[in-house]
Amino acid sequence: MTQARLPAFYLHGGVPDTVEGRFEMVSLHAFLVLRRLRAGGDEGRARGQRLFDVLFDDMDQTLREMGVGDLSVGKKIKAMASSFYGRIGAYEEGLRSEGDAVLTDALTRNVFGQSAATAHAAMLAGYVRRCDAALASQPVGDIVAGRAVFVTPPEETGIADGLVAGIEL
Protein backbone atom coordinates (compact mmCIF):
# COMPACT_ATOMS: atom_id res chain seq x y z
CA MET A 1 0.00 0.00 0.00
CA THR A 2 2.79 2.39 0.90
CA GLN A 3 4.54 1.96 -2.43
CA ALA A 4 1.29 2.17 -4.44
CA ARG A 5 0.39 5.45 -2.75
CA LEU A 6 3.65 7.26 -3.52
CA PRO A 7 2.89 10.62 -5.15
CA ALA A 8 5.40 10.00 -7.94
CA PHE A 9 3.01 7.66 -9.73
CA TYR A 10 0.34 10.34 -9.85
CA LEU A 11 2.52 13.44 -10.26
CA HIS A 12 5.17 12.10 -12.65
CA GLY A 13 3.87 8.77 -13.89
CA GLY A 14 0.56 9.93 -15.28
CA VAL A 15 -1.54 7.55 -13.17
CA PRO A 16 -4.97 9.12 -12.63
CA ASP A 17 -5.27 10.34 -9.03
CA THR A 18 -8.71 8.80 -8.63
CA VAL A 19 -10.21 5.92 -6.67
CA GLU A 20 -9.79 3.78 -9.79
CA GLY A 21 -6.19 4.89 -10.35
CA ARG A 22 -5.29 4.09 -6.76
CA PHE A 23 -7.01 0.69 -7.02
CA GLU A 24 -4.91 -0.02 -10.11
CA MET A 25 -1.66 0.83 -8.34
CA VAL A 26 -2.55 -1.22 -5.26
CA SER A 27 -3.51 -4.13 -7.54
CA LEU A 28 -0.28 -3.83 -9.51
CA HIS A 29 1.92 -3.87 -6.42
CA ALA A 30 -0.09 -6.66 -4.81
CA PHE A 31 0.35 -8.68 -8.01
CA LEU A 32 4.13 -8.19 -7.87
CA VAL A 33 4.32 -9.35 -4.25
CA LEU A 34 1.96 -12.28 -4.87
CA ARG A 35 4.06 -13.32 -7.88
CA ARG A 36 7.13 -13.49 -5.67
CA LEU A 37 5.32 -15.29 -2.84
CA ARG A 38 4.12 -18.02 -5.22
CA ALA A 39 7.77 -19.00 -5.64
CA GLY A 40 8.09 -19.43 -1.87
CA GLY A 41 6.61 -22.89 -1.52
CA ASP A 42 3.75 -23.63 0.83
CA GLU A 43 4.61 -20.82 3.25
CA GLY A 44 4.83 -18.27 0.46
CA ARG A 45 1.55 -19.37 -1.08
CA ALA A 46 -0.17 -19.30 2.34
CA ARG A 47 1.09 -15.77 2.95
CA GLY A 48 -0.01 -14.82 -0.55
CA GLN A 49 -3.52 -15.98 0.28
CA ARG A 50 -3.37 -13.99 3.52
CA LEU A 51 -2.28 -10.90 1.57
CA PHE A 52 -5.16 -11.37 -0.87
CA ASP A 53 -7.62 -11.74 2.03
CA VAL A 54 -6.32 -8.63 3.79
CA LEU A 55 -6.38 -6.65 0.55
CA PHE A 56 -10.01 -7.43 -0.19
CA ASP A 57 -11.11 -7.07 3.43
CA ASP A 58 -9.61 -3.57 3.30
CA MET A 59 -11.43 -2.84 0.04
CA ASP A 60 -14.68 -4.01 1.63
CA GLN A 61 -14.16 -1.64 4.56
CA THR A 62 -13.18 1.22 2.25
CA LEU A 63 -16.33 0.80 0.17
CA ARG A 64 -18.44 0.88 3.31
CA GLU A 65 -16.65 4.04 4.50
CA MET A 66 -17.36 5.60 1.10
CA GLY A 67 -21.06 5.03 1.72
CA VAL A 68 -21.69 2.01 -0.46
CA GLY A 69 -24.71 0.17 0.92
CA ASP A 70 -24.34 -3.22 2.56
CA LEU A 71 -26.33 -4.93 -0.19
CA SER A 72 -24.02 -3.57 -2.91
CA VAL A 73 -20.65 -4.17 -1.22
CA GLY A 74 -20.53 -7.91 -1.92
CA LYS A 75 -21.28 -7.41 -5.62
CA LYS A 76 -18.67 -4.68 -5.92
CA ILE A 77 -16.02 -6.79 -4.14
CA LYS A 78 -16.80 -9.73 -6.42
CA ALA A 79 -16.38 -7.48 -9.47
CA MET A 80 -13.12 -6.06 -8.07
CA ALA A 81 -11.77 -9.56 -7.41
CA SER A 82 -12.67 -10.61 -10.94
CA SER A 83 -10.90 -7.52 -12.30
CA PHE A 84 -7.89 -8.28 -10.13
CA TYR A 85 -7.64 -11.84 -11.48
CA GLY A 86 -7.87 -10.49 -15.02
CA ARG A 87 -5.04 -8.08 -14.33
CA ILE A 88 -2.92 -10.86 -12.85
CA GLY A 89 -3.30 -12.81 -16.08
CA ALA A 90 -2.49 -9.80 -18.26
CA TYR A 91 0.52 -8.76 -16.19
CA GLU A 92 1.85 -12.34 -16.02
CA GLU A 93 1.61 -12.58 -19.80
CA GLY A 94 3.32 -9.21 -20.14
CA LEU A 95 6.22 -10.20 -17.88
CA ARG A 96 6.65 -13.53 -19.71
CA SER A 97 6.70 -11.89 -23.13
CA GLU A 98 9.77 -10.68 -24.96
CA GLY A 99 10.06 -6.90 -24.87
CA ASP A 100 7.61 -4.53 -23.25
CA ALA A 101 4.81 -4.28 -25.84
CA VAL A 102 2.43 -6.78 -24.18
CA LEU A 103 3.05 -5.41 -20.69
CA THR A 104 2.70 -1.82 -21.90
CA ASP A 105 -0.60 -2.68 -23.59
CA ALA A 106 -1.91 -4.31 -20.39
CA LEU A 107 -0.89 -1.29 -18.30
CA THR A 108 -2.41 1.09 -20.85
CA ARG A 109 -5.78 -0.69 -20.68
CA ASN A 110 -5.87 -1.20 -16.92
CA VAL A 111 -4.08 1.74 -15.35
CA PHE A 112 -4.45 4.55 -17.83
CA GLY A 113 -7.60 3.71 -19.79
CA GLN A 114 -8.52 5.85 -22.75
CA SER A 115 -6.45 8.83 -21.61
CA ALA A 116 -3.19 6.90 -21.76
CA ALA A 117 -0.02 8.47 -22.96
CA THR A 118 2.12 5.68 -24.37
CA ALA A 119 5.20 7.18 -22.73
CA HIS A 120 3.63 6.85 -19.27
CA ALA A 121 2.60 3.24 -19.87
CA ALA A 122 6.05 2.36 -21.23
CA MET A 123 7.69 4.04 -18.25
CA LEU A 124 5.45 2.08 -15.87
CA ALA A 125 6.24 -1.17 -17.74
CA GLY A 126 9.96 -0.56 -17.13
CA TYR A 127 9.24 0.10 -13.47
CA VAL A 128 7.21 -3.14 -13.20
CA ARG A 129 10.06 -5.16 -14.73
CA ARG A 130 12.57 -3.58 -12.35
CA CYS A 131 10.31 -4.27 -9.35
CA ASP A 132 9.80 -7.86 -10.47
CA ALA A 133 13.56 -8.37 -10.73
CA ALA A 134 14.18 -6.68 -7.36
CA LEU A 135 11.55 -8.80 -5.62
CA ALA A 136 12.88 -11.97 -7.28
CA SER A 137 16.31 -11.27 -5.81
CA GLN A 138 14.94 -10.96 -2.27
CA PRO A 139 14.59 -13.96 0.01
CA VAL A 140 10.98 -15.09 0.21
CA GLY A 141 11.36 -15.06 4.00
CA ASP A 142 11.93 -11.30 3.90
CA ILE A 143 8.81 -10.80 1.83
CA VAL A 144 6.80 -13.11 4.11
CA ALA A 145 8.03 -11.01 7.04
CA GLY A 146 6.69 -7.87 5.33
CA ARG A 147 10.02 -6.51 4.15
CA ALA A 148 9.36 -6.23 0.42
CA VAL A 149 11.81 -3.81 -1.20
CA PHE A 150 10.60 -2.00 -4.31
CA VAL A 151 12.57 0.17 -6.73
CA THR A 152 12.15 3.92 -7.05
CA PRO A 153 8.99 4.98 -8.91
CA PRO A 154 9.26 6.60 -12.35
CA GLU A 155 10.86 10.06 -12.37
CA GLU A 156 10.80 10.35 -8.61
CA THR A 157 13.52 12.45 -7.05
CA GLY A 158 14.59 12.55 -3.45
CA ILE A 159 13.71 8.92 -2.70
CA ALA A 160 16.54 6.46 -2.43
CA ASP A 161 16.55 3.37 -4.65
CA GLY A 162 15.24 0.36 -2.83
CA LEU A 163 12.55 2.09 -0.85
CA VAL A 164 11.32 -0.34 1.76
CA ALA A 165 7.58 -0.71 1.96
CA GLY A 166 6.41 -3.52 4.19
CA ILE A 167 3.17 -4.96 5.42
CA GLU A 168 2.53 -7.47 8.19
CA LEU A 169 0.97 -10.56 6.70
Residues of the domain holding 130: 7-144
Looking at residues 7-23, what average pLDDT do you find? 90
Residue 48, domain member (yes or no)? yes
Q: Which residues pair with 169 in a beta bridge?
A: none
* pLDDT mean over 93-105: 95
- Angstrom distances, CA of residue 61 to CA of 6, 33, 68, 89, 112: 21, 22, 10, 26, 25
Going by C-alpha positions, the residue among 109, 154, 155, 145 that lies closest to residue 33 is 145
Q: Give the pLDDT confidence score for residue 157 in this predicted structure.
A: 38
What pLDDT digit, counting tens, does each position of 36-61 carry? Answer: 999 888 888 999 999 999 988 888 88
Residue 69 lies in a domain: yes
Q: Is 162 left (phi over 0), alpha (psi -120 to 50) or beta?
A: left
Residue 14 has pLDDT above 70, yes or no: yes
Q: Is residue 2 part of a domain?
A: no
The reply to whether 160 falls in a domain is no
Question: How many domains does one find in the chain?
Answer: 1
